[in-house]
Amino acid sequence: MTRGIQASSQRFALLGLLWALGVLGMGAGLGFVAYRLAFQEALRAAPAFLLPGAPNASASSSTTHSGPFRLPEWTGKERVNILVLGIDQREGESGPWRTDTIMVVTIDPVGLSAGVLSIPRDLWVTIPGFGENRINTAHFLGDAYGYPGGGIALAQETLRYNFGIATSYYVRVNFTAFEKAIDLLGGIDLCVPEAIDDPHYPDARYGYEPFRIEAGCQHLDGRTALKYARTRATRGGDFDRMRRQQQVIQAARERVLRLNMLPELIPRAPALWETVKDGVRTNFSLEEMIALARLAARIPDDRIRMVTIGLSMTILATTPGRSEVLVRIPEKVQEALTDLFGPQPMRLEAKVSVRNGTLRPGLASRVAEILRALGAEIVEVGNADRFDYGETRILVRPEALDAGRQVAGWLGLPLTAVRPAPDLACACDLVIRLGADFPELAGP
């Protein structure tokens, strides 16, 4: 009897993991499907004494259960942030991999709202411990060089370091799992705004598999949806690609919410899991998956926001190695983050002075506002001793070096901008002395 209960529990757990593939990122609303599948499968497979209403309901397995079977509720009140990564894992490869897709999903369980932030893979950031690089290399470097927790942990730390966003959870999905997830839904319906012709769409063996799709409303299977979400063969390049990925998420959610209990999928659930399980990695527990999926299903469509770090928030730049990358405009990015996530709960354990060393009026005040929104304690805003500084510097007391590096990440500055300064001649732990190289900000 115990062995049968354990088998049912394991199958239930595998079904629950399908939720991670869905609601939180690449397939979005599929989580609600997983919740329903898990519920129905548990009722079908569980011994009679575990069913709701059965007398003396109790059992023991790897997890002890008592009382009738009940679906878990999400009881947390704090905002939930989840890092979603799509990796370019090809058949037979063992990694490490770069991240082709980088998203952050945020859910407010009290206000019943949610948002999705898409981050361009060519965004130039500081990767803690590895210097400046494209953000899509963080996962690769973490796995390649044995960072504690691997590539996922370094990607999370990179996000926190550069944007002040802490992600307690993660979901990593490969392209095969994404395809299968969309097919599990029976495909998705969406309207393609413009025809796309991509003769250089990559195949699974580093060759080409030309992709073309006409403009107009149509039904996409998993393979076509993946191509639509991955191609960059439009004028907006990666920015258009991020918007298409969000469009796929919305289409998946809309389809899920129109479905009934999907009884025809229940008998296929174990086989479906076998198809996708190798392509999903997450730190959600089963109970957390189902509880948050139930919560997500209650969020109205008009309370879900989609944001991309796009053209208006970035500047095209060239690295010393002559590669084109994107550099963020700190103020514009922070405005978008505050609007989507609300004020960040992080605190910087340092007192900060911001001084303008340029002829750009109001620059120090606007930088100070960016840092206040991130939780920094600003004790002074004013002018530097002169206005012809070419390079921005973060001057820090030796004991506040970590805080200085954190501020550099928030402002999109290289770690070389942080300089120890034992005598700051102010009641502060670090001085941000703004130079002509500081990115342009909105306003006067």
Q: Is pLDDT of 33 > 90?
A: no
Rounded Cα distance between 155 and 135, Å, is 8
Q: What is the mean pLDDT of residues 253-264?
A: 59
Average pLDDT, the chain: 78
- pLDDT-derived band at 442 (thresholds 50, 70, 90) equals low
Q: What is the mean pLDDT of residues 175-191?
A: 84
Q: Is pLDDT of 71 > 90?
A: no
Which pLDDT value is given to residue 338? 84
CA distances from 116 to 137, 307, 357 (A): 21, 6, 37
Q: Is pLDDT of 53 > 50?
A: no
Judged on CB neighbours under 10 Å (0-12, 13-18, 19+), 380 is middle
Which pLDDT value is given to residue 14? 33
Q: Which of 116-130, 136-150, 297-311 comes out lowest in average pLDDT?
A: 297-311
Among 104, 155, 121, residue whose Cα is nearest residue 337: 104
Q: What is the mean pLDDT of residues 74-99?
A: 85
Which pLDDT value is given to residue 95? 77
Which range of 48-62, 139-153, 167-181, 368-382 scores highest in mean pLDDT? It is 139-153
Q: Which domains does the chain have, with CATH numbers?
A: 80-309 (3.40.630.190), 351-434 (3.30.70.2390)
Q: Could you tell me if 128 and 156 are in contact, meaning their C-beta atoms sit under 8 angstroms apart? A: no
CA distances from 118 to 153, 240, 264, 329 (A): 18, 11, 34, 16
Asked, as a colleague might, if the bond just before 199 is cis with ω within 30 of 0, I would say: no
Which pLDDT value is given to residue 4? 37
CA distances from 264 to 20, 33, 34, 184, 188 (A): 21, 12, 13, 11, 18
By three-state DSSP, how is residue 219 classified?
A: strand
Structure confidence by residue, pLDDT tens digits, 376-412: 899 999 999 999 999 999 999 999 988 898 898 888 8
Which pLDDT value is given to residue 20? 36
C-alpha neighbours within 13 Å on the C-beta side of residue 195: 3
User: Residues 111, 304, 136, 372: is their CA dihedral positive or negative?
Assistant: negative
Which pLDDT value is given to residue 425? 84
Tell me how many helices (H) and strands (E) the chain has: 12, 21
Structure confidence by residue, pLDDT tens digits, 265-280: 445 555 555 666 677 8
Which pLDDT value is given to residue 80? 92
Q: Is pLDDT of 16 > 70?
A: no
Give the rounded percent of residues in the chain with a pLDDT score beyond 70: 76
Q: What is the mean pLDDT of residues 64-81?
A: 71
7: CB partners within 8 A, 6+ apart: none
